[in-house]
Amino acid sequence: MSVQTWTYLLVGITFALYIGIAIWSRAGSTKDFYVAGGGVSPLANGMATAADWMSAASFISMAGIISFAGYDGSVYLMGWTGGYVLLALLLAPYLRKFGKFTVPDFIGDRYYSKTARIVAVICALIVSFTYVAGQMRGVGVVFSRFLEVDINTGVIIGMVIVLFYAVLGGMKGITYTQVAQFCVLIFAFMVPAIFISIQMTGNPIPQLGMGSKLNDGSGMFLLDKLNGLSTELGFAEYTEGKKSTIDIFMITLALMVGTAGLPHVIVRFFTVKRVKDARKSAGFALLLIAILYTAAPAVAVFARTNMIHTVSNQEYAKMPEWFKNWETTGLLNFEDKNGDGKIQYVADRSKNELIVDPDIMVLANPEIANLPAWVIALVAAGGLAAALSTAAGLLLVISASVSHDLIKKIFVPNISEKGELWTARGAATVAVVIAGYFGINPPGFVAAVVALAFGLAAASFFPAIILGIFYKKMNKEGAIAGMIVGISLMLFYMLKFKFGIFDGGKEAVASLEKDWWFGISPEGFGSVAMLVNFIVSIAIMKFTPEPPINVQEIVEDIRIPSGAGTAINH
């Protein structure tokens, strides 16, 4: 069977599975819709958390970035995995014990303020829509290549699927769908990695194959080979970085603390029965996430080496079918500048004739390596599983923020449970449409957009959550001021240096790099905005009244270790 036939078959089977699970586990109450009834097992919740966490950025884009950035791409590995550990150990158990459905709910109650709740909802919507933009682009990339439909049509198909199981099933449907999606995405990521590792080095473990000798009889290590190929073409050595130490540190920190403030991951810890189950599911998720994250650098090395071998100085007319297929998507472009009919892939921009979007590397990798058609199709199904699982989690956060934190808690406190459930579904529907618009008009490639979402989460939520848990004297005035200043500063920096809003548009972005504040990129500036948030919060707190005694008692109570039993709702 052809790649397209296999793709239709595997994607069709997985989509039918997701829809079937959504119908089987549809939400019958707001508790089902928001937290899956609070009765998910630690293992199932760990698998769902891993799928929620490993988005299109992890599956499609991260290895692609590493394949082009080399050593510099390690910031994504360090930041995202380190951030998950930070979330699991430092925040999740305490937030679970506090017993609130959403981050705005925690902030609204902890800071005893409707204003704090509204500010938190606005921050959650900004973070979630920025994040979901990357997921919908990932859906469009997969559909446009493997189902050979227009990228806009692909995004619309993805919207319909997500809408069905997110709106019908709520968190209950999403949780069990994400268990299936984890199985699909991890299998789809590892199978081609194992195939290519055996093909190139003879080692069936990709993580070890990356550091092994090539099995072509040369006796050369794979990384040495890639370093040599890179320098021959004028690029820096693959294993050496170009970013400044401060930028690497700031990006890693922003990704770490941004993780700890991501509302769609935090809410997963409310779907289990007890606080100790939240800890267990965090541990399971970390182990499952590590499978993909330790293999991603290997996939990046395999893809980069194979691509250079396949395209560099080769005749365009003789390029294999995969090259032409990706050209039609617009994500790979060849311009014969010197008219010799050969592809000059070099670091010098004036001479380089090939532009490759990093997002295609994982998806094209099995084709470049000439793997069987079913493996190529499997990767497509995995990419869709990764993008749709995270998109669904984000859409639930958006709908819960609107229906629970705005409508029920502020505007219509007497709304019935049925009315709240319908409001949540309506909000999810609107959110899907907006997410689809971002997928059709993407602001950048997947991992870059997602990195900005982490920066926004770091700048807004992290200080408010940390101070809310560990500093009982932190008051509403300080938290509100800190969140507003932090997210405003990050938005300004992002719009200025990532999108060139104030300086001539996207075309001017490359020239603005020399003007970065302290030499820090937009992806790393969330760390600076977070520090400003902390400073503003504590400074304002010093000159305003202390929180009420009952709030201070709640803060002390949620840190008591004996809370390993049933969660306490305040």
Helix runs in 401-416, H state only: none
- The answer to whether residue 535 scores a pLDDT higher than 50 is yes
Higher-confidence residue of 39 and 455: namely 455
User: pTM for this structure?
Assistant: 0.83
Task: Report pLDDT for 32.
Answer: 66
pLDDT in tens, 223-240: 999 999 888 888 888 888
* H or E element at residue 333: strand 332-334
Whether the pLDDT of residue 4 is over 50: the answer is yes
More confident residue, 151 or 35: 151
Dihedral sign from CA coordinates of 9, 14, 19, 20 = positive
How crowded is residue 147: how many other Cβ atoms within 10 Å of its Cβ? 17
Whether the predicted pLDDT of 477 surpasses 70: yes
> Is the confidence at residue 566, as pLDDT, over 60?
no
**Averaged over 472-487, what is the pLDDT?**
96
Mean model confidence pLDDT for the chain = 84
**What pLDDT, in 10s, does the model give residues 158-188?**
788 777 766 666 677 778 888 888 899 999 9
* pLDDT bracket for residue 568 (50, 70, 90): very low
Degrees, nearest 5: CA angle 288-450-54: 15
CA-wise closest residue to 522 among 488, 491, 485: 491
How sure is the predictor about 112, in pLDDT bands with cuts at 50, 70 and 90?
very high
* Residue range 470-496: mean pLDDT, rounded: 94
- pLDDT on residue 444: 58
- Where is pLDDT greater, at 89 or 515? 515
Residue 563's pLDDT is what? 44
Higher pLDDT, 119 or 24: 119
Q: Is the pLDDT of residue 567 over 60?
A: no
Structure confidence by residue, pLDDT tens digits, 184-208: 999 999 999 999 999 999 999 999 9
Choice among 46-55, 133-142, 230-239, 468-477 with the minimum mean pLDDT: 133-142
CB-based contact 307:317 (threshold 8 Å) = no
At residue 537, the pLDDT reads 97
Name the most confidently modeled range: 81-85, 416-420, 453-457: 453-457
Average pLDDT for 70-78: 86
Place 484 in a pLDDT band, splitting at 50, 70 and 90: very high
For residues 99 and 281, which has the higher predicted lDDT (pLDDT)?
Answer: 281
Please count the helices (runs of H) and the strands (runs of E) in the chain: 23, 2
Highest mean pLDDT among 248-252, 255-259, 506-510: 248-252
Could you tell me what percentage of the chain is helix, strand and coil, using 3-state DSSP and rounding each to the nearest 5?
75, 0, 20
Q: Residue 265 in contact with residue 87, Cβ under 8 Å?
A: yes
Write the pLDDT tens digit of every residue in 492-523: 998 888 877 766 666 666 677 888 998 899 98
Over residues 44-65, the mean pLDDT reads 83
Q: How confident is the model at residue 297 (pLDDT cuts 50, 70, 90)?
A: very high
Summarised one tens digit per residue, pLDDT across range 410-423 is 888 888 888 888 88
Which helix H or strand E contains 332, and what residues bound it? strand 332-334
The pLDDT value given to residue 27: 63
| Cα dihedral 272→459→518→358 (10° resolution) | 50
Cα–Cα distance for residue pair 96/469, rounded to 1 Å: 11
Kindly report the number of other CB atoms within 10 A of residue 324's CB atom: 12
Quick one: average pLDDT of 290-299?
92
Cα distances (Å, whole numbers) of residue 370 to 367, 410, 503: 5, 57, 45
Structural domains in the chain, CATH included, are 3-564 (1.20.1730.10)
Q: Taking residues 517-534, what's their average pLDDT?
A: 93
What is the predicted pLDDT for the residue at 446? 58
Please state, in angstroms and rounded to a whole number, the distance separating the CA atoms of residues 390 and 382. Answer: 13
pLDDT band for 91, please (50, 70, 90 cuts): confident
What gap in Å lies between CA 327 and CA 321, rounded to an integer?
Answer: 10
